[in-house]
């Protein structure tokens, strides 16, 4: 995915701007791996194989994403990720 395209993305929950951290690019400067962090809600969206994973919370599995996020963020921001394990015990808002 090209950086111009990723820069147009916003948080799917609050439409806030996302901060992009690129961890892997190809020779054409396409983004292959990285993370997008929402300034507002601190959600973390991984970019995998050039595809930003921006599914709603209910379609995300923290256990599946955890190893990836750990690798991408090197543990720097894992405590900011919304789908941390203790959060899964709470009732969803408005649900």
Residue ranges in contact with Zn ion by CB under 5 A: 11, 13-14, 16, 38, 40-41
Min CB(29)–Zn ion separation in Å: 26
Identify the bridge partners of residue 51 per DSSP, sorted by sequence position: 48
Tokens of 58: 């209910």
Min CB(20)–Zn ion separation in Å: 14
User: Based on CB atoms, which residue is closest to Zn ion, 15 or 26?
Assistant: 15
For the chain, the first-to-last Cα distance in angstroms comes to 34
User: Based on CB atoms, which residue is closest to Zn ion, 56 or 95?
Assistant: 56
Min CB(9)–Zn ion separation in Å: 11
Instruction: Give how far Cα 11 sits from Cα of 6, 30, 34, 80, Å.
Output: 11, 21, 15, 15
Question: Within 10 A of 11 (CB to CB), how many other CB atoms are there?
Answer: 19
User: Based on CB atoms, which residue is closest to Zn ion, 32 or 54?
Assistant: 54
């Amino acid at each position: 995915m090209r950086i111009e395209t990723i820069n147009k993305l916003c948080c799917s929950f609050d439409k806030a701007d996302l901060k992009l951290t690129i961890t892997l690019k190809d020779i054409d400067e396409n983004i292959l791996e990285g993370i997008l962090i929402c300034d507002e809600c601190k959600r973390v969206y991984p970019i995998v194989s050039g595809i930003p994973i921006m599914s709603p919370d209910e379609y995300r599995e923290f256990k599946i994403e955890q190893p990836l996020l750990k690798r991408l963020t090197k543990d720097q921001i894992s405590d900011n990720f919304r789908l941390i394990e203790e959060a899964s015990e709470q009732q969803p808002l408005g649900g």
